[in-house]
Structure 1
């Protein structure tokens, strides 16, 4: 195929400049703010983060943490800002973000640090399913009950998130349709047509057994 997809978009990504200079048909799967003149397919990660934090706050959580991906990735940076703004707006002053490489090993390490803190969170939002499942394993290793002692939310609703016990509350979207939108735009460019930015539906929250109210005696952060 005489074209290219640009995935895992980074802040000030040099690949965008290179593809623009080459004039090659290309589609960015990521936010248009960093796509330059290239066509992009994206969804509003900020809206999904806000929905999640509002849900956890409604359950009564006041100390919420996030195990995130690499900070130089555009979607991570957007989620970082939305998470901090949502928590601040709801008065959740004990929020913290731990950046990882999105592997199970790093997800487990970050979770262990968070849960060993004197002001450990009562809920953790993970940037992918692998780190969330690793976090669930760490919580169980530390004799914490999910969701009685800790609520867990995973981004990307993978089959793995659904078969663990308890099954994980997750941010879900139709990945196949998302990819199809990108492919359609790339094919249009290859055929000499035009393609503009396309905003797909934001991921929506699917509630399962890994979330619930916080422990009754959880102290408020200072």
Structure 2
């Protein structure tokens, strides 16, 4: 059997436990960070929410700065990978691909990571290092959508000013978690589909929408 054919060993129980704990810490950090901002976030509050000692938290993340960096990277990387997979899985028209991207984005920010929209909305009070990284991650995210929009403009499916349409799209999507707060799952499913269809119409010529 070649080295390529051998499967990777399964993670040990200790490694799996550590991964779960890190995921719990990052989720709590995202909540606190989105609620209080960078300067209002404290490791004490995160440890308290998880019923951890501060020493235990430091074992995983030795500083607030490392925790914030890991939190931003984890959220953005997970979301961007999901969107790339969604875009690549659909071989239809630009409108069909954009519709799938909008639905995936709404699912991410409503169900999976409701903190994401708040964290990446121009955190002006953050230190410059994090503002720069946040901008870079937003550019990666933006390019996933824009590549499909440019394709639609090139093929004539979309008749829009690219920048204006994208600003309108992001402005609407980032407010969806507020609109859907407290609603039942079935209501979210129905409303999410309607919102996605309406947002797609921003890009379509009047005769097609």
TM-score after normalising by structure 2: 0.35
Compare the two structures and name the one with the higher strand fraction. Answer: 1
Larger Rg belongs to: 2
TM-score, length of structure 1 as denominator length: 0.34
Q: Structure 1 or 2: larger helix share?
A: 2
